[in-house]
Amino acid sequence: MGSRTIRILLHSTAAVLMINGYHGLTKLPINTFISSQYGGHLQYLTIQGLFITCATALISLILDLIPSMSTLKSLKRILLYISMPLSIVISSIYWPLLLLATQLILQSDGEPSSSSEASQLVRIPLHLDLALHAVPAITLLADFLLFERKYSRAELLYGAPAVSILYTIFYAWWVERCASFNDGRFPYPFLTDNPIETRLAIYAGAGTLAFSSFWLINKLHP
């Protein structure tokens, strides 16, 4: 099986799984609650990461089929700046908390999970959980390490930190705004249960994790 065929299979399969994952989420009873909140699904970093990763996969698929589209190559590199560290942050935070401190990541009528540890919390099927919280990170890591060139030193020193900082500021502003319209309720309990000072530290920590993961993954690139 050639490299191009593998790329097409990777990107098409990932796109289908992510789109089906989101579609499946909107068909669950929990969708009524999420849709009634200010910000809807876009309150969740998971969904933002899913959309950006899906866009990256679809652009990659177009490039697999039409390699001469140089403009899309540049766009994909820019999207990878955002989607790859974002997907790593989502998976790195979600799965450990799901396994070790479920009450910090899930709520009775907030973001669902497949966790069997907390039957009183709203849950989603495991295949949807994986599509939302694992497929994006796995896909982007495989794509970058196998098919993309590593980022330059200048891109690491200037581009990556700038993107991480700007997206961290954007999400912090957005989720705080959403909570102000949702009676102080954040999409994640670990934000709802903490004062603004702690939340700011959480945002900063997530942004630092995003940049650090990007730097490490680039360093591991063959």
**Residue 120 CB partners (closer than 8 Å, separation 6+):** 108
What residues make up the domain containing 158? 3-220
| The model scores a pTM over 0.85 | yes
Q: For residue 67, give both structure tokens.
A: 């390699």
| pLDDT over 90 percentage in the chain | 73
pLDDT tens, residue by residue, 15-64: 999 999 999 999 988 898 899 999 999 999 999 999 999 999 999 999 99
How far apart (Å, rounded) are the C-alpha atoms in residues 60 and 4?
11
**Residue 139 CB partners (closer than 8 Å, separation 6+):** 10, 11, 14, 53, 57
Candidates 187, 191, 186; CA nearest to 203 is 191
- Domains of the chain: total: 1
How far apart (Å, rounded) are the C-alpha atoms in residues 205 and 42?
21
State residue 124's pLDDT score: 83
**Residue 61 CB partners (closer than 8 Å, separation 6+):** 8, 11, 12, 15
Beta strands in the chain, from DSSP E residues, in sequence order: none
